[in-house]
Amino acid sequence: MELLSTIISGLWQFEFYYPLFMAYLWMIGGLYYYYHREVGGSHHVEDIPVLSEYPPVSIIVPCHNEGKNIEETIQYLVRQQYPNFDIIAVNDGSSDDTGSILDNLSSHFPNMRVVHLAKNQGKAMALRMGAMLSRHEFLICIDGDAVLDPRATTWMMSNFVGASRVGAVTGNPRVRTRSTLLGKIQVGEFSSIIGLIKRAQRIYGRMFTVSGVVAAFRKSALQEVGYWRLDMVTEDIDISWKLQLNHWDIRFEPNALCWIKMPETYKGLWRQRLRWSQGGMEALIAYLPNFWSWRKRRMWGIFLEYITSVFWAYMMAVIMLLWLVGLVINLPHALQFPTIVPNWNGILLGVTCLIQFLVSMLIDSRYEKDFGKYYYWIIWYPVVYWILNVITTVVAVPRALFGRKKRARWISPDRGLQPS
């Protein structure tokens, strides 16, 4: 019983220490990246870099039922300020008017091609077909509801030119849908959590994932690792791990802005996050055997951080459960949580969150004016994130472990509130 008591007490402390210390690690990494790569005269979005060469690029746009969004997406793509690129729109068996809109658009743009998949095949297959049919070595893959900043292609390509070990470059997704509380929280999340973590991971040398909504790839690297797998619910996490396990670097390009629509309903957010959680777990299961390889040791940090965060979520669920049960049933002393008031440590965690948001907003304000006002809303994020993270992880792990492997198909996501 003494041992059980010690274990429970250790777990309780771990639940506090892990997010606390990781927050500081992300901040230090993010700030290091910021002072190393972002501060200074020539690092602004509008100062498009001059490249020693401009290799041709194929922009692949997989889309399924994007009738409402696709025209805007394409209109921005054709305005890319890059001398040599073409667009391949892959209509993945849409049941709406996406196909005819694409056909119509392609008749106006000489550098646009359309590929129709007769039946819906899922994003991974749409990307595979787009890559197969592309004429160029470099690919930019962007979702059919996202808007790519006209300067983004050059910014992304600046990471490939002269760097033959770079296999992929991930862009900087910016949330467009900000009408609701959930929308505003995600604005902060993408800056505070995702942006900061990507910067820190770039300094570490390995990334958990590229952003599926906007990423550039070297086709020879994709060919080497076998392109996107068809049986993963998140193709972006999978491809990122495969590339890095094969010693390809992934870069983060904060100046490659991509405006995205995020869910603004609880149901939409839940479904999206559950998918992300399950995708991470599927990648972990698929590639964990590589953990023991000394040659692949640079991925250890990514593996360990992910495993620890899954463990953290499960332990948090256990503690909450014990506390709730303890309210009704008289549990053995070792299993009792008389209170889950976090006490002084709670304040420290609260203050840490506020500092983290401040740091990330400071870094991110370069990319948007008036960004500071979102600081007011970000206060909700830790709660939403922790609760959502705990529940989606608890649900996703058994799904990934025991779920029947099948082709991941499109599920039309919630894309926030949009004017009709």
Q: Segment 323-352, which members bind other proteins (CB under 8 A)?
A: 341-350
Q: Which residues 115-134 are close enough to bind other proteins by CB under 8 A?
A: 115-119, 121, 125, 128-129, 132-134
CB of 362 to other proteins, least distance (A): 17
Q: Smallest distance from the beta carbon of 398 to other proteins, in angstroms?
A: 27
Return the number of the residue (105 or 237) whose C-beta is nearest other proteins.
105
Question: Which of these segments, 61-69, 215-223, 280-288, 330-338, binds other proteins (CB under 8 A)?
Answer: 215-223
What is the rounded radius of gyration, in angstroms, for the C-alpha atoms of the chain?
22
Site for other proteins in 192-211 (CB under 8 A): 200, 203-205
Residue ranges in 41-60 that form contacts with other proteins under rule CB under 8 A: none
Q: Which of residues 388-417 bind other proteins (CB under 8 A)?
A: 407, 416-417
Q: How far apart are CA 312 and CA 385, in angstroms?
A: 13
**Cα–Cα distance between 349 and 361 in angstroms, integer?**
18
Q: Is 137 helix (H, G, I), strand (E, B) or coil?
A: coil
C-alpha dist (Å) from residue 288 to 144, 284, 285, 292, 306: 32, 5, 6, 8, 11
* 399, two tokens: 């799904």
165: left (phi over 0), alpha (psi -120 to 50) or beta: alpha
Cα end-to-end span (Å), the chain: 62
Distance CA 155, CA 150 (A): 10
DSSP-derived pairing of the beta strands 85-92 and 112-117? parallel
The yes or no reply on residue 242 touching other proteins (CB under 8 A) is no
Smallest separation, CB 274 to other proteins (Å): 19
Query: Cα-flanking dihedrals φ and ψ of residue 143, to 5°?
Result: -65, 155
Among 9, 75, 220, 308, binds other proteins (CB under 8 A): 220
47 vs 103 by CB, closer to other proteins: 103
Binds other proteins (CB under 8 A): choice among 103, 308, 333, 412: 103
Is 320 near other proteins (CB under 8 A)?
no
CA distance 69 to 84: 25
- 281, two tokens: 């777990």
Q: Does 137 bind other proteins (CB under 8 A)?
A: yes
Q: Considering only the stretches 21-29, 39-47, 233-241, 330-338, report the one whose residues sit in contact with other proteins under the rule CB under 8 A.
A: 21-29
Q: Is 29 in the site for other proteins (CB under 8 A)?
A: yes
Find the shortest distance in angstroms from Cβ 263 to other proteins: 13
Report the site for other proteins in 140-199 (rule: CB under 8 A).
147, 163-165, 176-183
Residue 46's contacts (CB-CB under 8 Å, 6 or more residues apart) are: 151
